[in-house]
Copies of this chain bind each other. A is one copy, B any other.
Amino acid sequence: MDDRQLTSELAAQAVEVCLCFHARKASRAITQVFDHILAPTGLRTTQISLLMVVNARSPLRVGDLADALVTDSTTVSRTIKPLIKSGFISEMPDKQDRRVKLITLTDSGRAALERALPLWQTAQSQVAKRLGSGVVQTLLPALESAAQLGPSDIV
A36 vs B106: C-alpha distance when bound (angstroms): 37
CA A4 – CA B110 in complex, angstroms? 8
A26 surroundings in chain B (CB, below 8 A):
23, 27, 142-144, 146-147
Using A29-B148, A139-B142, A142-B139 as known contacts, say yes or no to A114 and B20 having CB atoms under 8 A apart.
no
Choose among B34, B45, B51, B142 the residue that contacts A138 (Cβ–Cβ < 8 A): B142
How large, as a class, is the contact surface on chain A?
Answer: 35 or more
B56 & A120 in contact (Cβ 8 Å cutoff): no
- Name A151's contact: one of B21, B32, B127 (CB within 8 Å): B32
Which parts of A1-59 form the interface with B (CB within 8 Å)?
A: 3-4, 7-8, 10-12, 14-15, 17-34, 36-37, 45-46, 49, 51-53, 55-56
Q: Which of B3, B18, B128, B152 contacts A114 (CB 8 A)?
A: B3
Would you call B11 and A56 a contact (CB within 8 A)?
A: yes
Contact A146 B131 (CB under 8 A): yes
Q: Is the CB of B7 within 8 A of A110?
A: yes
Closest 8 CB pairs of A and B: A26-B146, A27-B27, A15-B52, A139-B142, A138-B138, A25-B147, A22-B143, A26-B143
